[in-house]
């Protein structure tokens, strides 16, 4: 029934091959774009097909083994896929968004050098991401996991001639590798610890079945899950490994939308959800996840406050929103996390694409006016709502969604997370408070962005001012689709409390995902003081927070545009710290990067060249040197030779006779 699941990743792979191998020959941008879009669209269609099938199927978990991969001793790894509600949702999400964004790219990337290269990478990414979400065991997942990392590397470094771009790509890859290090260790430990119990497996289903063999809350489970979580922090840009994501904005905007907002960065969340049974057994890890998630949400939000680059603001917002998802995972609200993953994919993709549209327009204008101004700097924008109405509207919808304005998708998902962070047995009011404060900041900086970009006076250089066009349809169409999703996507998971209000509207998502999180259902129990009324109260607080945030933004950036300047003047140090991202990059450079380089140099030039080789060459020198000394015993004088003989005789006799 699900035999041909492999078709889903296959289509984009074929697209990758076609564009990658023949792209140079094809040359025609339209054909290239069409091939790429079609490839991923086909996989979207197939995904839809299987998703529908799954919906009707009473049995929700299906494994498909395509071929054997690695077989050695107790290790059996297959190329196998796992289709269950979770991966079903993810493939829809990934292939759908990828289709839209690829379509968008046709317009956005127009005229770029390496057009085919871009689309082949995009397809390769889709392939890898689909492998990731469909992977039936940890290793197939890891293929996708590293594959998306690679594509991320390639796409961030798309403008490879720019040093900052290739640096950013490398940084992304390396930081992800740090995460992978954790992932691998976790996998090894898991394999080994299950193996000790007689079950040698890395298959997700089998892991879920046998995870009870491990000691609940024991050291092993904690270590395993912490390792996996380290992997997740790398991929999903959480503290301490988030630093690569803002830099990743060096890539073209569609890349940021697809990879660094909607899909790849959520892989960590997905992975934790995928192994929820395991994580549920490690309360310490769960707590760590929750704390890290909340901290990241807040921390990234603070940095987002002071950025001027439109994409960077979105990047920090992404980090922050991912923090929410981890918070959800940490408190055991897996469904909520996945829900936020989906809604976030919608609105953040829309936001990025919208910003792309803006940048596209600005770039066009600056190009037209032969200016070298930065098309991404919000200080060069303003008042664009009239120039780019569609972009503005879609952007606004998404911003409302992210800010948590009721009935936009973000409201439902974020609110659910906040609720669970308080109400879950694993929750705590501090977590909620942090999350709520971060929500305030989110509303503030997102509307700061909107106000700076679309409202107020146009601050663009005069020469370029009038040349900002609305983007073509191929760009705006995906925006519209995404805005729609961002607006209404929340209805998938209406909380029960609200659902009741609206006449028993079911929480579709929760029911659908239930088989996946079956083993962790107990975590969803609400602890003592959680009740419907409390839930309403919390909801109202959320709304209030969002409104307050928007209000502050309006005051500071629309009503009194000089206010921010005053604020900066009042707290220069604080601003500088925030503006410079709390100097975390510098901190890492000083603590990790430079010492490593220094160590490498020392090992090479001092240890290797002087010590080890010195020892080797030293032995050679000593041998040769002693040879040179011995050589001078050979004086050429006969009586010296005779003396040597006589002494030899005397000594030998002495030794032998004494013995």
Partner 1 sequence: MENLVQTAMQNVNFAAIMPSLVLACFGMALLLIVVFSRRGATLHVAGLSLLALLTTAYVAFTGWNNLQTGFAGHVVLDKFSLFFTFIFLIAAALTILMSDSYLKREGYPVGEYYVLILFCTVGAMVMASGTDMMTIFVGLEVLSLSLYVLAGFFRGQLRSNEAGLKYFLLGAFSTGFLLYGMALIYGVTGTTNLVEINQVLSSGSAISANPMALVGMLLLATGFLFKIAIAPFHMWAPDVYQGAPTPITAFMSAGPKAAAFAALMRIFLVSLGSLQGTWEGALWVLAVLTMVTGNFIALNQRDIKRMLAYSSIAHAGYALVGLVAANEIGISGVLYYMLAYTFMNIGAFAVLVLAGKKGEENLTLDGFAGFGYKRPLLGVLLSICLFSLMGVPPTAGFTGKFYIFAGALDAGYVWLAILGVLNSAVSLYYYLRVMVFMYFKDPQEEFDWIQLKPGVTICVVLSVIAVLYLGILPGGVMSLAKLALF
Partner 2 sequence: MSEHLLSLMTFFPILGMFIVLLLPRNAGGLLKSVALVVSLITFVISLPLALDPVFKTSAGMHYTEFAEWISVGKYFTMNYSLGVDGISLWLVMLTTFIMPIAILSTWQAVTKHVKAYMAMMLLLETAMLGAFVSLDLFLFYIFWELMLIPMYFMIGIWGGANRIYAAVKFFIYTAVGSLLMLVAILFIYYQAVNSGMDISGFSVTDFYNLSLDPQLQRWLFLAFAFSFAIKVPMFPVHTWLPDAHTEAPTAGSVILAAVMLKMGTYGYLRFAMPLFPEALRYYLPYLTALAVIGIIYGALVAMMQKDVKKLVAYSSVSHLGFVMLGIFALNTVGVSGAVLQMINHGISTGALFLIVGFIYERRHTRLISEFGGLSTSMPVFAVIFMIVTLSSIGLPGTNGFVGEFMILMGAFQGELRWFAVLATSGVILAAVYMLWMFQRVMFGKLDNPKNRDLKDLSLRELCVMAPLLVFIFWIGVCPNTFLDKMTPAVDHMIEQISGKKPIVVPQVLPATPGQGHAAHIQAVEHGEHHE
Partner 3 sequence: MELLQLIFFYVVALVTLVAGIGVISCRNPINSAISLVMTFFCLAVFYVMLHAPFMAAIQVMVYAGAIMVLIIFVMMLLNQGLVAIGKHRHALVGAGIAAALLVVQMVITVTKGQVSEPVGAITAKVVESVGHTQLIGQAMFTDFLLPFEIASILLLVAIVGAVVLAKREV
Binding site for partner 1 (CB under 8 A): 620, 623-624, 626-628, 630-631, 633-634, 636, 638, 640-642, 644-645, 647-649, 652-653, 655-657, 659
Tell me the closest approach of the beta carbon of residue 601 to partner 2, in angstroms.
5
Q: Among partner 2, partner 3, partner 1, none, what binds residue 192 when CB lies within 5 to 8 Å by partner kind?
A: partner 2
Place of tokens 């909380």: 495
Residues 6+ apart with CB under 8 A from 413: 336, 339, 340, 342, 343, 344, 490, 493
150 binds, among partner 3, partner 1, partner 2, none (CB under 5 to 8 A by kind): partner 2
Determine which residue in the list 14, 26, 48, 184 makes contact with partner 2, applying CB under 8 A.
184
Q: Is 602 in the site for partner 3 (CB under 8 A)?
A: no
654 binding partner (options partner 1, partner 2, partner 3, none; Cβ < 5 to 8 Å by kind): partner 3
Adjacent-strand bridge partners of 599: none
Q: How far is the CB of 634 from partner 3 (least distance, A)?
A: 15
Q: Which of 74, 389, 625, 648 binds partner 2 (CB under 8 A)?
A: 74
Tell me if 188 contacts partner 2 by CB under 8 A.
yes
Q: What angle do CA 345, 349, 350 make, to 5 degrees?
A: 120
Helix 7-26 with 115-134: angle, nearest 10 deg? 170
Smallest separation (angstroms) from partner 3 to the CB of 640: 7
Structure tokens at 317: 């917002």
**Min CB(653)–partner 3 separation in Å:** 5
Q: Is 70 left (phi over 0), alpha (psi -120 to 50) or beta?
A: beta
Binding to partner 3 by residue 649, rule CB under 8 A?
Answer: yes
Q: Which CB sits closer to partner 3, 632 or 637?
A: 637
Phi first, then psi: what are they for 110, rounded to 5°? Answer: -50, 130
Q: Of residues 573-602, which lie at the interface with partner 2 (CB under 8 A)?
A: 596-597, 599-601
Total binding residues toward partner 3, as defined by CB under 8 A: 11
Contact partner, 166, from partner 2, partner 3, partner 1, none, Cβ < 5-8 Å per class = partner 2
Binders in 608-647 for partner 3, by CB under 8 A: 637, 639-640, 643, 646-647
Please enumerate in sequence order all residues whose Cβ is within 8 A of that of 16, keeping only pairs 6 or more positions apart, or say none. 39, 120, 121, 123, 124, 127
State how far the Cα of 199 lies from the Cα of 205, in Å rounded to an integer: 12
CB of 615 to partner 1, least distance (A): 16
Is there binding between residue 225 and partner 2 (CB under 8 A)? no
Cβ 611 to partner 1, closest distance in Å?
22
Query: Which of 59, 638 has the CB closer to partner 1?
Result: 638
Q: Which is nearer to partner 2, 406 or 515 (CB)?
A: 515
Interface residue with partner 2, options 52, 612, 646, 650 (CB under 8 A): 612
Binding partner selected for residue 650 from partner 3, partner 1, partner 2, none, CB under the kind-specific 5 to 8 Å limit: partner 3
Instruction: Return the number of the residue (55 or 650) whose C-beta is nearest partner 3.
Output: 650
Q: Which one of residues 47, 62, 331, 378 is an interface residue with partner 2 (CB under 8 A)?
A: 62
Site for partner 3 in 212-271 (CB under 8 A): none
Q: How far is residue 19 CA from its own chain's centroid?
A: 26
Q: How far is the CB of 659 from partner 3 (least distance, A)?
A: 14
Q: Note whether 177 binds partner 2 by CB under 8 A.
A: yes
Q: Using CB under 8 A, which of the segments 257-265, 298-306, 439-447, 506-514 binds partner 2? A: 506-514
- With CA atoms as reference, report the closest residue to 272 among 347, 332, 345: 332
Contact range with partner 2 by CB under 8 A, out of 185-193, 347-355, 380-388, 550-558? 185-193
Nearest Cα neighbor of 138 from 211, 89, 73 is 211
Out of partner 2, partner 1, partner 3, none, what residue 624 binds, judged by CB under 5 to 8 A for its kind, is: partner 1
User: Minimum distance between the CB of residue 349 and partner 2, rounded to whole angstroms?
Assistant: 26
Residue written as token pair 């840009």? 237
As a dihedral over the C-alpha atoms of residue 52, residue 55, residue 56, residue 60, rounded to 10 degrees, the angle is 120
Q: Return the H-helix or E-strand segment holding 145.
A: helix 138-156
Q: Which of residues 126-145 bind partner 2 (CB under 8 A)?
A: 139, 142-143, 145
State yes or no: residue 653 binds partner 3 (CB under 8 A).
yes
d(CA 41, CA 264): 18
Residue whose CB is less far from partner 1, 544 or 642:
642
Site for partner 2 in 155-174 (CB under 8 A): 157, 160-161, 163, 166-167, 169-170, 173-174
Which lies closer to partner 2 via its Cβ, residue 65 or residue 651?
A: 65
Confirm if 182 and 234 have CB atoms less than 8 A apart: yes
Tokens representing residue 487 in the block? 């607006």
Identify the burial level of 148 via C-beta atoms within 10 angstroms of its C-beta, where 0-12 means exposed, 13-18 middle and 19 or more buried: buried
Residue of the chain from 17, 22, 26, 75 that contacts partner 2 (CB under 8 A): 75
What's the helix, strand, coil split of the chain in %, to 5? 75, 5, 20
Rounded Cα distance, 130 and 122, in Å: 12
Does residue 657 interact with partner 3 by CB under 8 A?
Answer: yes
CB 107 → partner 2: shortest distance, Å? 25
CB 246 within 8 A of CB 300: no
- Distance, in Å, from the CA atom of 617 to the CA atom of 121, rounded to the nearest integer, reads 50
Cα–Cα separations (whole angstroms), residue 592 to 103, 175, 379, 498, 598:
41, 12, 34, 49, 10
CA distance 80 to 134: 8
**Among partner 1, partner 2, partner 3, none, residue 139 binds (CB under 5-8 Å by kind):** partner 2
The conformation of residue 420, written as its DSSP 8-state character, comes to H
Closer to partner 3 at the Cβ: 555 or 643? 643
Q: How near is the Cβ of 153 to partner 1 at its closest, in Å?
A: 44
If one asks whether residue 192 binds partner 2 (CB under 8 A), the answer comes out as yes
CA atoms of 401 and 406, how far apart (whole Å)? 8
For 398, the token pair is 């998404």
Q: Are 104 and 33 in contact (CB under 8 A)?
A: no
Site residues for partner 2, window 616-655 (CB under 8 A)? 616, 620
65 binds, among partner 1, partner 2, partner 3, none (CB under 5 to 8 A by kind): partner 2
Q: Could you give the CA distance from residue 262 to residue 346 in angstroms, rounded to a whole number? A: 7
Assess 189 for contact with partner 2 (CB under 8 A).
yes
Which residues, in sequence order, are CB contacts of 622 under 8 Å at separation 6+?
Answer: none
| Ramachandran bin of 468, using left for φ above 0, alpha for ψ from -120 to 50, beta for the remaining angles | beta
Q: Which of 151, 96, 69, 167 is nearest to 118 (CA)?
A: 151
The residue ranges that bind partner 3 (CB under 8 A) are 637, 639-640, 643, 646-647, 649-650, 653-654, 657
């Amino acid at each position: 029934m699900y035999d041909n699941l492999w078709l889903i990743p296959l289509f984009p792979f074929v697209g990758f091959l076609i564009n990658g191998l023949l792209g140079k020959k094809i040359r025609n941008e339209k054909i290239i774009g069409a091939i790429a879009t079609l490839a991923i669209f086909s996989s979207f269609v197939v995904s839809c097909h299987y998703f529908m099938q799954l919906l009707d199927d009473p049995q929700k978990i299906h494994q498909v083994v395509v071929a054997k991969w690695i077989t050695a001793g107790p290790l059996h790894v297959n190329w196998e896929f796992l289709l269950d509600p979770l991966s079903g949702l993810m493939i829809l999400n990934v292939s759908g968004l990828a289709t839209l964004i690829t379509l968008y790219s046709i317009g956005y990337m127009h005229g770029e050098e390496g057009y085919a290269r871009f689309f082949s990478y995009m397809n390769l990414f889709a392939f890898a991401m689909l492998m990731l979400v469909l992977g039936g065991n940890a290793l197939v997942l890891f293929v996708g996991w590293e594959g998306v990392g690679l594509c991320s590397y390639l796409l961030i470094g798309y403008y490879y001639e720019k040093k900052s771009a290739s640096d950013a790509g490398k940084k992304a890859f390396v930081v992800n590798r740090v995460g992978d290090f954790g992932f691998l260790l976790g996998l090894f430990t898991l394999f080994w610890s299950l193996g000790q119990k007689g079950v040698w497996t890395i298959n997700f289903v089998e892991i879920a079945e046998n995870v009870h063999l491990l000691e609940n809350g024991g050291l092993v489970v904690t270590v395993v899950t912490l390792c996996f979580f380290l992997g997740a922090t790398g991929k999903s840009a959480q503290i301490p490994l988030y630093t690569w994501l803002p830099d990743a904005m060096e890539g073209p905007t569609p890349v940021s939308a697809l990879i660094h907002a909607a899909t790849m960065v959520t892989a960590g969340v997905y992975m934790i959800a995928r192994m929820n049974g395991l994580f549920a057994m490690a309360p310490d890890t769960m707590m760590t996840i929750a704390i890290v998630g909340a901290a990241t949400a807040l921390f990234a939000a603070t940095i987002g406050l002071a950025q001027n680059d439109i994409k960077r603001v979105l990047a920090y917002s992404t980090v922050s929103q991912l923090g929410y998802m981890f918070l959800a995972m940490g408190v055991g609200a897996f469904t909520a996390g996945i829900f936020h993953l989906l809604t976030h994919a919608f609105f953040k993709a829309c936001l990025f694409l919208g910003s792309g549209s803006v940048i596209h327009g600005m770039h066009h204008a600056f190009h037209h006016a032969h200016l070298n101004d930065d098309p991404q700097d919000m200080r060069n924008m303003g008042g664009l709502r009239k120039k780019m109405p569609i972009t503005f509207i879609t952007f606004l919808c998404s911003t409302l969604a992210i800010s948590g304005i009721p009935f936009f998708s973000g409201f439902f998902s974020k609110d659910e997370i906040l609720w669970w962070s308080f109400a879950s047995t694993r929750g705590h009011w501090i977590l909620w408070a942090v999350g709520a404060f971060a929500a305030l900041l989110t509303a503030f900086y997102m509307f700061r962005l909107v106000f700076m970009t679309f409202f107020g006076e146009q601050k663009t250089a005069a020469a370029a001012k009038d040349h900002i066009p609305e983007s073509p349809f191929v760009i705006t169409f995906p925006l519209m689709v995404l805005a729609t999703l961002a607006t209404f996507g929340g209805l998938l998971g209406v909380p029960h409390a609200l659902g009741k209000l609206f006449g028993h509207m079911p929480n579709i998502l929760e029911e659908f995902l239930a088989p996946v999180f079956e083993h962790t259902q107990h975590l969803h129990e609400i602890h003592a003081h959680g009740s419907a009324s409390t839930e309403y109260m919390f909801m109202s607080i959320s709304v209030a927070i969002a409104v307050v945030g928007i209000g502050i933004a309006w005051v500071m950036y629309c009503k009194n545009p000089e206010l921010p300047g005053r604020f900066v003047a009042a707290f220069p140090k604080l601003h500088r710290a925030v503006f410079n991202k709390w100097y975390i990059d510098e901190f890492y450079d000083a603590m990790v990067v430079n010492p490593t380089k220094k160590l490498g140099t020392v090992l090479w030039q001092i240890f290797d060249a002087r010590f080890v080789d010195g020892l080797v060459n030293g032995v050679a020198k000593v041998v040769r040197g002693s040879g040179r000394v011995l050589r001078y015993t050979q004086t050429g004088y006969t009586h010296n030779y005779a003396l040597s003989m006589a002494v030899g005789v005397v000594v030998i006799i002495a030794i032998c006779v004494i013995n």
